Amino acid sequence: MFEMYIEATVRGYHAYLDDASVRIGEILACEMELDNSHDKYAVAIKNQDGNLVGHVPKELSRLFHKFLDDFGELEAECIGNRLNAGKGKGVEIPVDYRLVGNDVYLGKLKRKLSKKDFADDINMSKIQRIIES
């Protein structure tokens, strides 16, 4: 198996921060949210207590939704304090998304992401083999 990291954010934290907290270093679960009326490709982000803290940004949700459907291994690690960068996006949480899958699939995903309009706004790691301990 191989892994790749994508530095981005969790969107919509402002809607959940009264009921759910997130700590720097916390690993967050990523789950398809099939009943979301705003985005049919929504991916919900939950803290270690199982509380919803936000969603994968819409510009990434379709690719991540398909990735979860095909492989089912995606998580996010909180890497900073919540922020509001403006642009109408609300309060966000900076995270590193960790995608685990085969190198061919991850390579295709990385190429698709690099062609998107927002590619300059995200950082992607190299695809690396996971070393089992």
Q: Give the domain ranges of the chain.
A: 2-129
| Level-2 CATH architecture, domain 2-129 | 2-Layer Sandwich (3.30)
Position with higher pLDDT, 9 vs 72: 9
- Altogether, the residues listed in the chain come to a count of 133
Q: What is the pLDDT of residue 30?
A: 98
Mean pLDDT, rounded, for 77-99: 91
Averaged confidence pLDDT in the chain: 92
Dihedral of CA 24/30/42/67: which sign? Answer: positive
Kindly report, residue by residue over 18-63, the tens digit of the pLDDT.
Answer: 889 999 999 999 999 999 999 999 999 999 999 999 999 999 999 9
Q: Are 113 and 119 in contact (CB under 8 A)?
A: yes
User: Exposure string (b/e) for 55-74, b if CB count within 10 Å is 16 or more?
Assistant: bbbebbbbbbbebbeeeeeb
Burial class (CB in 10 A: 0-12, 13-18, 19+), 13: buried
Query: Looking at the predicted structure, is the pLDDT value of residue 120 above 90?
Result: no
pTM of the full structure: 0.92
CA dihedral 39, 91, 124, 22 (to 10 degrees): -100
Q: What is the pLDDT of residue 100?
A: 95
Mean pLDDT, rounded, for 87-97: 90
Query: Looking at the predicted structure, is the pLDDT value of residue 121 above 80?
Result: no
Mean pLDDT, rounded, for 94-98: 97
